Amino acid sequence: MNIAASSTDHPQDPSEPRAFVRTTFDLGDAVLRPWGREDAVSDAMLAELVAAAADPLIALWNPLPTNDRPAALAWLESRHAGWDSGANASFAVLDPADGVLLGGLSLRWVDRADGLAMIGYWLLPAARGRGLAARATNAVTAWAFRTSAARRIEIAHAVGNEASCRVAHRCGYLPEGTLRASHRFGDGTYHDEHLHARLSTDAEGGLPVNP
Ligand SMILES: CC(C)(COP(=O)(O)OP(=O)(O)OC[C@H]1O[C@@H](n2cnc3c(N)ncnc32)[C@H](O)[C@@H]1OP(=O)(O)O)[C@@H](O)C(=O)NCCC(=O)NCCS
């Protein structure tokens, strides 16, 4: 698997603010690229985001505030703002053949000064079942540790979300315990969550970045 990052992928000057710098990843069967201004003027993309919000698994475990076109536009604007401020690295996962939306992945600072970040992901049904979330998470994790001041990245998922648990394990995010009734999910109820984390000092525990 060849995972190529764009030319903006460079280690950060430690004296610079701890911003995420826009980059893209080529995973072969998928491309990760920052949500862009072009998405806001794409009827197809807006329709795909509305459809993603309606998917039952996404609506349950990773609700998207993109239920209609104005909401999708507002959400896209928040993605830009996150990149512009360096607070949030939010990627569209796209089919390289036709640009069709496959999913999304976001890395955001929880405590920027402390190097603590959190990652989340969702895939549309057609893109599931081929390990794509793990490969995307592994690529972005390696990039974040290499190019930003990320020291610790967390994944939290509802205990009942076994696919997400497997993704975390596959990417070397070690289990650290169960958070009780820690987050209200799409069904409107609070669920216990597993907390997983990876440290920049951990041995490469995930999938190989450049096998
Ligand atoms: C979580 C999600 C991104 C994983 O997508 P994916 O990359 O296609 O995952 P895969 O189907 O390749 O499965 C990953 C692993 O979970 C396992 N798995 C998948 N569905 C499972 C299920 N229902 N129960 C138990 N294990 C499951 C697979 O066997 C695989 O295991 P392996 O790594 O040991 O081979 C996808 O299911 C999704 O978008 N879910 C809805 C949104 C969501 O839950 N986001 C995460 C919020 S924390």
Ligand 1 binding pocket includes 60 (Cβ within 6 Å): no
Distance from the alpha carbon of residue 123 to the mean position of ligand 1, in angstroms: 9
Ligand 1 binding pocket includes 133 (Cβ within 6 Å): yes
- Tens digit of each residue's pLDDT (9 = 90 or more) over 14-44: 444 467 989 999 999 999 999 998 999 999 9
Lowest mean pLDDT among 40-44, 60-64, 121-125, 201-205: 201-205
Model pTM? Answer: 0.91
- Tens digit of each residue's pLDDT (9 = 90 or more) over 37-73: 899 999 999 999 999 999 999 999 999 999 999 999 9
**Using DSSP, how many helices (H) and how many strands (E) does the chain show?**
6, 9
In a 13 Å sphere around the CA of 26, the CA atoms on its Cβ side amount to: 8
Average pLDDT, the chain: 90
Angle 37-137-152 from CA coordinates, rounded to 5°: 105
94 vs 32: CA distance, rounded Å: 6
Query: Terminus-to-terminus CA distance in the chain, angstroms?
Result: 6
CATH class of 4-13+21-199: alpha beta
Domain boundaries, the chain: 4-13+21-199
Identify which of 121, 165, 194 to mutate to test ligand 1's pocket (most ligand atoms within 8 A of the CB). Answer: 121
Lowest mean pLDDT among 12-26, 48-62, 122-136, 150-164: 12-26
Distance from the alpha carbon of residue 117 to the mean position of ligand 1, in angstroms: 22
Taking 90 as the threshold, does the pLDDT of residue 203 lie above it? no
Ligand 1 binding pocket includes 102 (Cβ within 6 Å): no
Bridge partner list, 119: 107
DSSP class per residue in 78-97:
HHHHHHHHTSEEEEEEE-TT
pLDDT of amino acid 207: 53
